[in-house]
Amino acid sequence: MIRVIINADDLGKNEVVNEAIADGLTKGVITSSTIIANTNYWSDIHRIIVNNTQASFGVHLNLTEGKALTKNDTLLKYGVVDDSYVFTNRVRSLDSYPSELFDAIYQELDAQVYKVLVGESITVSHLDGHHHIHTFYPFRDIISDIAEKYSIKKIRNRYSLPRMKDNPFKRFASSTLNYLAAYTGYPRNRSHLLRLKQEDLKWKDLFKSRFTLTDYFSSYESAVEFIDKGGSFPGECTLELMCHPGHPKYEEEYHLIKRFVFANKIHNSSLINYNQLSA
C-alpha cells in the first residue's frame, strides 16, 4: 500500500489561500496543512481546524516572507530582516552564519512554534519550511533542537523520488532537478553540486535518526510528471505531496488534485495525514 499525505503549504498567507485550503480539506482531497506563524489570519485558521478534525496541522517555519515574530536586531544586522523587521529572503545567501545569527534564528523559529502550539493551543503534527528553509543544511541543529524541545516527532523530508530504472538520463535529470528545486538559484559548478548532494545525504541521515519522515517527498505536479515519464513507487511506502491551493501560479495543480489525478495513475494507494504516519 502506498500511503499518501497531501499537504497544503501556507495556511494563513491570505484569505484566498486560506479558503482554497479549507475547500480542499473539506472535499477530502487534501489531508494536511502547515501554518505560517507570522500571520494575521488566526480566526480563519481556527475555523478551518475546528471544521476539519480529520486533518493534521503543522508549522511552516518561515525566514523568508512577512514580519518576524521577534524584533531581534541581530536579524537586522545581517540583513535577514529590513528596518521594519520584515524578512528579506536573504537568509540562504549569506556568506557566513556567525553564532549570534544562529542564536537569533533559533529564537525566531522557536517563537513561531511556540506561537502555534502554546499561544494558539493548536496541536502540531509536524514541521516543514517556507521555501524549504527546514532543509537548509546550516540550520539542521536549530530545527532538530526546536522539534525535540516541543516533542514534535515528524518532519518533512527533502525532495526525494524513486530512481527511474528505464532511462539513466531521466533518472539523473529527475533526481537533480527535484533536488535543486528546493534551493534558490542553481549550483555554480560541479563541485558546488557535489557539496549540495553530500549535504543532502547528511541531512537525511541526521533527521532519519531522530524523527519520522515519509519515504518520499515531492510537489503534487512533479509526482504526476514523474509517473507520466515512467516512474513508479514501491508497493509499500509513504509519500508526501506538497501543494499550494489558492496561489495563482498553482491553479492547474489544484485542478489535478481535485480530480485525484495522481491516485488514478497508480494502484493500491490510500490517503493519510501526518498524525497517521507511523513513528
Give the pLDDT confidence score for residue 278 in this predicted structure.
86
Give pTM, 2 decimals.
0.90
Mean pLDDT of the chain: 91
Poorest-pLDDT segment among 132-136, 181-185, 257-261: 181-185
- The span from the CA of 187 to the CA of 12, in Å, is 32
Q: From residue 231, how far is each of 117, 164, 220 by CA, in Å?
A: 38, 5, 14
Give the pLDDT confidence score for residue 279 in this predicted structure.
59
Most confident segment among 91-95, 145-149, 165-169, 199-203: 145-149
DSSP structure class, residue 118:
I
Q: From residue 85, how far is each of 57, 59, 66, 67, 68 by CA, in Å?
A: 26, 20, 9, 6, 6
Per residue in 191-217, pLDDT tens? 767 777 788 889 999 999 999 999 999
Mapping DSSP to helix (H, G, I), strand (E, B) and coil, where does residue 237 land?
strand
pLDDT of 176 over the 70 cut: no
Domains and CATH numbers, the chain: 2-276 (3.20.20.370)
pLDDT of 22 over the 90 cut: yes
- The span from the CA of 132 to the CA of 145, in Å, is 17
Per residue in 158-174, pLDDT tens? 999 998 765 544 544 54
Q: What is the mean pLDDT of residues 217-222?
A: 97
Question: Cα-flanking dihedrals φ and ψ of residue 34, to 5°?
Answer: -120, 140
Q: What is the mean pLDDT of residues 49-60?
A: 98
